[in-house]
Structure 1
């Protein structure tokens, strides 16, 4: 494992809430949005309404409140977004974070102490919408966390350098019109080296770049440990 992965693993022995603490971990259920999921064959998954209906079905069948998953998942969710296929006509369709799908307005929590590195409303259709990036340092190892698909109010009064403590509410899930054509969810991603990016960082890559991005963006569940709860 990398130095950052070891830091993430060691940070907490128990699961960490990324959404409203009133939602128990027992109400989290896994969601498969991969292109290999045959259940999606008859669903227009790029339509936020149909996507939401499918998610609601999964939540209902699992008595859940949050559906999550997607790290390194190859998806058809971006097939209608032209901005995901610009480079040499190679589709960017491999997801680099974990998505947490729940109702719009749900609180988004900070899993560990950090300061605001940057924020931006990435309002191109298919992008993140309102996005916040925090910087963290643990045992002299610095890294970043990205929170995408938030509400506009979340970034309205935010300032670079603002400090958040673990467990603080950093914002709320946005609606499809604000998070630019997705059913409400949080895109949560960990980034080792962010380079010159401000308020944005690729959350989806293509196959030829997968080795780089998977190394630079480790599995968020190493930190949150929700899957192992």
Structure 2
């Protein structure tokens, strides 16, 4: 068993929610953004408003507030951004979990943390407003990246400041501040930041899959979202 999983399970009673849903009771909609999803034509992906309409229609049709996008998912949707298409091998493998919801949705801290770093990564298709928190649970140190936030979330932050467990510290941003995506949270666990600040790849090349997955454990260790 991964050490982080052991630590989280041992301290499960102290782990708080990240957004306002209970994975045991609330209906959540799984989104598949692999080649299997043939609904997302280029004309939708190329227009953030149309993409947002598609997401919202799916949520409304299924009577749910939140959609969930998968960890370790090989996605076709990144073709919409040149940011992921540099080099001979394009980046397509998703390293976090996405929570798709309404602009302004509150984001909470799941455990006592300090601010590692933050930035506005404002390339088309990037994270937009981003916060990285550093955690220490029983001596086990790791980080969590929260991407696609609103710019107001960055306003009062300082590196090294404490954020208590359960505290609201951010909100989901709109397309003008979240990297030109439909509103959602990218939540990613990272063990070694490798010297980076305010940013860390949330999508990698498939050929580098094992290296990145080893450094970015499954966020469902925290979220506990499962689908039957």
Q: Normalization by structure 2: what TM-score?
A: 0.91
The 3-state SS of whatever aligns with 2:170 is: strand
Q: 1:22 to 1:36 in 2, by over 3 A?
A: closer
Give the deviation of 1:21 after TM superposition: 6.0
Structure 1 distance, partners of 2:35, 2:6, is 31
Structure 2 distance, partners of 1:93, 1:29, is 22
> Aligned residue for 1:208?
207
**Matched ranges for 1:77-116 at <5 A:** 77-87=77-87, 89-116=88-115
Deviates more, 1:40-49 or 1:153-162: 40-49
CA RMSD in angstroms, aligned pairs only: 2.3
> Aligned residue for 2:2?
2
- After superposition, what is the alpha-carbon deviation per residue over 1:125-166, rounded to whole angstroms, capped at 9, x for unaligned? 111111000000112110000000111110011111111122
The 3-state SS of whatever aligns with 1:157 is: coil
> Aligned residue for 2:71?
71
Conserved? CA contact 1:78–1:84, under 8 Å? yes
> Aligned residue for 1:189?
188
Q: 1:54 to 1:26 in 2, by over 3 A?
A: same
Q: 1:15 to 1:26 in 2, by over 3 A?
A: farther
Conserved? CA contact 1:98–1:189, under 8 Å? yes
Structure 2 distance, partners of 1:46, 1:11, is 43
> Aligned residue for 1:31?
31
Structure 2 distance, partners of 1:67, 1:15, is 21
Conserved? CA contact 1:112–1:167, under 8 Å? yes
Give the deviation of 1:40 after TM superposition: 3.0
Q: Normalization by structure 1: what TM-score?
A: 0.91
Give the deviation of 1:2 after TM superposition: 2.1
Deviates more, 1:9-18 or 1:164-173: 9-18
Deviates more, 1:60-69 or 1:127-136: 60-69
Conserved? CA contact 1:119–1:198, under 8 Å? yes
Conserved? CA contact 1:101–1:184, under 8 Å? yes
Deviates more, 1:102-111 or 1:20-29: 20-29
Deviates more, 1:33-42 or 1:70-79: 33-42
Structure 2 distance, partners of 1:14, 1:138, is 10
Structure 2 distance, partners of 1:213, 1:155, is 27
- After superposition, what is the alpha-carbon deviation per residue over 1:93-135, rounded to whole angstroms, capped at 9, x for unaligned? 1110001111111101111111000001111111111100000
Conserved? CA contact 1:30–1:69, under 8 Å? yes
The 3-state SS of whatever aligns with 2:136 is: strand
Conserved? CA contact 1:194–1:201, under 8 Å? yes
Conserved? CA contact 1:174–1:184, under 8 Å? yes
Structure 2 distance, partners of 1:52, 1:14, is 34
Gaps of 5+ in 1: none
How many pairs align? 228
Give the deviation of 1:222 after TM superposition: 1.2
